[in-house]
Structure 1
């Protein structure tokens, strides 16, 4: 008889991951395999005792996009809690940084290990007991993300949340979060080409997918987009018969608010969140919502909500609790656009350009992403910012050392259970192929950078140890920018013992 503790639940959850071959097959399909996600989720939902209509009781705020959707959801969550402290709010996001429990939050706090185990096994047991499948192609159990999505639905319904904020995984139209018949309000954050490899097609295709979350009679928001994407979103809102379609501008009043999530680009996410929450609260009070009506100046509770918002691992500065002279700058920026935003954030006087410290970069990107393009975007944005600040630094001299490591957690080649990745190319990992390519790309972009200060490392723990060694050797404060893969950022938080200060867990 197997035990049913948190570690056992994680083992079972990891068994639902796609392996490398399956991920490559999905990419090769041009996104066709993604199209099964929605109807499979409805089938699984029925097998655990719910219908899509049951999800309407969650009063959903639904958010998708290429970048900024997690931050937008964090702003929405904080705004709601500030506006109505008595409201019970569920938040479902992905991925997690340190613990899978982060993906399912109640009133801003990850659910406990006990609750996670309870809801995880209740879903597991119901699927085991009811194997009646409508489609022969449907697996007995859903894959990793869809399973956690089911656990979130079950947890939110069981705990009777008043509001559920759902962040789309990938896409929109076919995403497993997109089975709620009648959300209260929907929003699309900034779009880019990062998901083309997964979803297939052009930016217009991406916009078509994202616009799939719009619903009949439901307000549809977005932020300024490239022309081709905006036109498709507008058409999708009309096709879905949304109650209205609105492109959100950044109100000047945001200039007086110190956002709890750093980065100039967060102003756009905050503006979208404001409209989503304002529309949502008015709808909850029974008002007819046929056009956007955000009132200015901002209500005090809105300003407080924006100031108190937190989204760990994104433009976050963390002082090392053991070595106060070391500061970790964490930003899980994994797209060209977000890497440029990361560079803009770091290359400012009150962040990465302060005098005195040794500056170190730790970077990785997951297999299949163009590391050279990501580094180029970072370099170009950093150079522009350095010039704007009339800094004597260049991109060749901004960092004293750069490290390219894998997402493997520990130096013995093992992962923490909640970081295990079955979708890795083992040959790439063993040969450090991606990391070597990144190092070569860096040296090509920064030709005067010393080769001796470019490090290719097999694990996150190796990188942390080297950063500590540099601190001890130079006897100077060390500022370490950790960016690229969110898995890298989460792993470093774990290895460097930053969980309590970075995630307040």
Structure 2
């Protein structure tokens, strides 16, 4: 069930003694794509600077515990069960969604452990997202906004941006990457309405590739004068420079935090975020491909994510590319596949294991064909990988894509 409201979680948090008011200083991140990667960079940079960091993200890929990281470590099973039981008892059988009660559990766990910062990723939208009960974060941040979850957030970029910008708070700086014009206008209006200082990429900072790395420039008076030459992010893809740049811009706004170049460089190089253009180098699924083939995994699932992915795939024309594609019925499957159509030789389509809302393999293949991709429906991911290499073809790459749920199933099956 998805029923966007803050009333239920506010009621539960009051019964729990308001743990959301007892968190270490919060950086709250919303957007359509790049939220998790931005948080991964924030976490890695803050830890490299010596900070202890709580992190709340969603969804998980393999284990629910991935969502709640307490001072650098995933919550253990006993602690997770304990806070969930406490939340269930306090809720006393009243209506509550899965995301709301697990968010309350995360806040309870965070409030009871020491940390220097708390990083919160919105689950859906922003304005009515359960994470938006934090009244005064240190900073809010907006990653790229595009169409997704239209049934809940609106049919236009402007409507979606209005929901995402709902995390802005009076007097709290909001940092935003470059946005489509209609999103930028909505964000600027929201910032003016609530009195939130708005710092936009281009005006307050820039993050651009240079040589074999990238350069971050902080621009006064919006941010302190800064010039940092940094190594390429550990997460592949040109879009990750923008995500890392947003993370670093957020850190530049933190009062009293000294930006040490060597520590930031270590953080950029150490950031990890599974299933975002992740190469799988060993495991049961990797072993199904012929020698010399590469297996990659990406959980992007909307047209904006596909456009960012396509930019990276432009550099993969040195060998054949085969997509292993699966997607939920609720997503824009042709909008996702269209940017990839000219970059892959064919698509092998699968249903997402265990997901009732998955497109069946035949429907996914029909969607691929409708955008000009040769496509073949397969029984499973292992079946698709066994078919990936055509007779006489040189070693290529197989990219599993289309859904974070598919990505999680792949990581579990690969071992």
TM-score range, shorter chain: 0.7 to 0.9
Q: Which residue, 1, 17, 38 being the options, matches 1:72? A: 38
Cα shift at 1:264 = 0.5
Instruction: Give the match for residue 207 of structure 2.
Output: 251
Residue 83 (structure 1) aligns with:
49
On the 8 A contact 1:184/1:283 being kept in 2, the answer is no
Distance 1:152 1:212, change over 3 A: same
Rounded to whole Å, the distance in 1 between the matches of 2:382 and 2:365 is 18
Is 1:181 paired with 2:99? no
8 Å contact kept, 1:320–1:326: no
Map 1:48-447 → 2, pairs under 5 A:
48-50=16-18, 52=20, 54-55=21-22, 57-84=23-50, 87-128=51-92, 140-242=94-196, 244-249=197-202, 250-252=206-208, 253-254=215-216, 256-280=230-254, 282=255, 299-321=261-283, 323=287, 325-348=292-315, 352-355=316-319, 359-379=321-341, 383=342, 395=343, 398-399=344-345, 402-408=347-353, 415=354, 424-425=356-357, 432=360, 435-446=361-372
Q: Which protein has the bigger strand share?
A: 2
User: Structure 1 CA distance, aligned partners of 2:323 and 2:387?
Assistant: 14
Q: Structure 2 regions of 5+ residues with no counterpart? A: 209-214, 217-228
> Would the aligned equivalents of 2:31 and 2:164 in 1 still touch at CA under 8 Å?
yes
Find the partner of 2:6 among 30, 38, 54: 38
Match of 1:485 in 2: 403
Q: Determine which of 455, 460, 469 is the counterpart of 2:376.
A: 455
Q: Tell me: CA distance 1:163–1:378, structure 2 relative to 1, closer, same or farther (3 Å).
A: same
- Rate the CA distance shift 1:325–1:109 in 2: closer, same or farther, 3 A: farther
CA-CA distance at 1:327 after TM superposition: 2.8
Preserved contact between residue 439 and residue 455 of structure 1 (Cα < 8 Å): yes
Q: Is the 8 A contact 2:348 2:388 kept in 1?
A: no
SS in 1 for 2:109: helix
Normalising by the residue count of structure 1, what TM-score does the alignment of the two structures yield?
A: 0.71
Q: Give 1:123 deviation, angstroms.
A: 2.1
Which aligned runs of 4 or more in structure 1 are off by greater than 6 angstroms?
471-476
The answer as to whether partners of 2:303 and 2:332 remain within 8 angstroms in 1 is no
Residue deviations 1:386-427 (CA, integer Å, cap 9, x gap): xxxxxxxxx4xx33x52211111xxxxxx4xxxxx5xx35xx
Deviation at 1:221, TM superposition (A): 1.1
Change (3 A) 1:161 1:469: same
Question: Of Structure 1 and Structure 2, which has the larger fraction of its residues in helix?
Answer: 1
Task: Identify if the C-alpha distance between structure 1 residues 164 and 406 changes in structure 2 by more than 3 Å, giving closer, same or farther.
Answer: same
- SS of alignment partner, residue 334 of structure 1: coil
Radius of gyration: which is bigger?
1
RMSD after superposition: 2.6
Q: Secondary structure at the match of 1:360?
A: strand
- For the residues of structure 2 that align with 1:112 and 1:472, how far apart are their CA atoms? 44
CA drift of 1:354 comes to 4.3
Q: Shift of the alpha carbon at 1:470?
A: 5.3
Q: Partner residue of 2:224? A: none
Once residues 328 and 362 of structure 2 are traced to their aligned partners in structure 1, the CA distance between those partners, rounded to angstroms, is 13
Hey, what does 2:226 align to over in structure 1? none
Q: CA deviation at 1:105?
A: 1.2
Count of residues in Structure 1 that have an aligned counterpart in Structure 2: 389
- Aligned equivalents of 2:283 and 2:150: distance in 1? 40
Answer yes or no: is the 8 Å Cα contact 1:45–1:51 preserved in 2: yes
- Structure with bigger RCO (C-alpha 8 Å, 6+ apart): 1
Q: Does the CA-based 8 Å contact 2:132-2:167 persist in structure 1?
A: yes
Normalised by the length of structure 2, the TM-score is: 0.86
Q: Secondary structure at the match of 1:159?
A: coil
